[in-house]
Amino acid sequence: MELWFTEQQTPDLGFTCKITKTIYTAKTQYQDLAILETKQFGRMLVLDGAVQTTIADEFCYHELISHVPLFTHPNPKKVAVIGGGDGGVIREILKHDEVEKAYLIEIDREVIEASKKYLPEISCALDDERAEVVITDGIKFVSENKNMFDVIIVDSTDPVGPAVGLFQDSFYKAVFECLKEDGLFVAQTESPFYDQDLIKNVFHAVKSIFPITRLYLGFIPTYPSGLWSFTLGSKKYDPLEVDISKIKRIDTKYYNPELHKALFALPTFVQEIIK
């Protein structure tokens, strides 16, 4: 018998792939968690029915959300990830030698435990001595810490359940306060095809707080529409002013110095969203 998993990406559209094995399922305090073995993408982490990451395409998302901010800041020593329990962003952050400490601020311990057990390719850096895991609500953590980080990366689930507050104006104000005086942050901000109101609202909220606000795009095959947006807010450094000849070559499959500025070149329909 064939087994298929479908994520209902919109009320009228599903993303379906063939499952060879259900490896693990759990109902955590915060969400339904599943690790599936898919034919097309290898192992897949699913939370509340939404694909979070897969072995085959995780590099697209994790590299884009990490290396753009880290190569925009000239000396990122202290970095925080809000969410990101699979550990993929921490793995990418620790490719930067100048990073002294990378904090993972994740609300759901069980996501980390399942990722460590079943997705070692992604979670492999979580036990690194430069990584520190803090189990708490990212909203609380950010509002309780001031002037602490060079870079904050918001690797959240979609804006439902505990992640709703990670897309609100008050959170971006707290992120501003939590960053050092020349700090910057980036957040995943969903699909320019299906989430135009969200992108518009987040962009304008960030723009009202940070002197520099930029939107960039990447391609992530398993996310709704494939086209994905990231919103960057910065107190001082502009990703478009980076001298790309000075960007160090690190081991990546998607990000490279030539792409750094090109990612910010937006199709006309996306320019319209943030106008």
Binding site for ligand SAM (CB under 6 A): 30, 47, 52-53, 61, 82-86, 105-108, 111, 137-139, 155-157, 162-163, 166, 188
| Helix extents (H) in 145-215 | 169-178, 196-207
Is 155 annotated as catalytic? Answer: yes
Q: Which is nearer to ligand SAM, 131 or 242 (CB)?
A: 131
The minimum distance between CB 155 and ligand SAM, in angstroms, equals 5
Q: Which residue is nearest to ligand SAM (CB)?
A: 83
The minimum distance between CB 69 and ligand SAM, in angstroms, equals 15
Q: Which is nearer to ligand SAM, 38 or 156 (CB)?
A: 156
- In the beta sheet, which residues pair with residue 217? 229
CB 193 within 8 A of CB 266: no
Q: Which is nearer to ligand SAM, 167 or 237 (CB)?
A: 167
The structure tokens listed for 170 are: 């008050």
First to last CA, the chain: 50
Catalytic residue among 108, 155, 158, 195: 155
The minimum distance between CB 275 and ligand SAM, in angstroms, equals 25
The minimum distance between CB 208 and ligand SAM, in angstroms, equals 22
Q: Which is nearer to ligand SAM, 174 or 242 (CB)?
A: 174
State the DSSP string of 102-165.
Answer: EEEEES-HHHHHHHHHH-HHHHTTTTSTTEEEEES-HHHHHHH--S-EEEEEEE---SSGGGGG
Q: Which is nearer to ligand SAM, 242 or 263 (CB)?
A: 263
139 CB-near residues (< 8 Å, 6+ apart): 165, 166, 171, 174
CB 208 within 8 A of CB 192: no
Nearest by Cα to 184 from 225, 227, 236, 146: 236
11 CB-near residues (< 8 Å, 6+ apart): none
The minimum distance between CB 164 and ligand SAM, in angstroms, equals 8
Q: Catalytic residue numbers?
A: 155
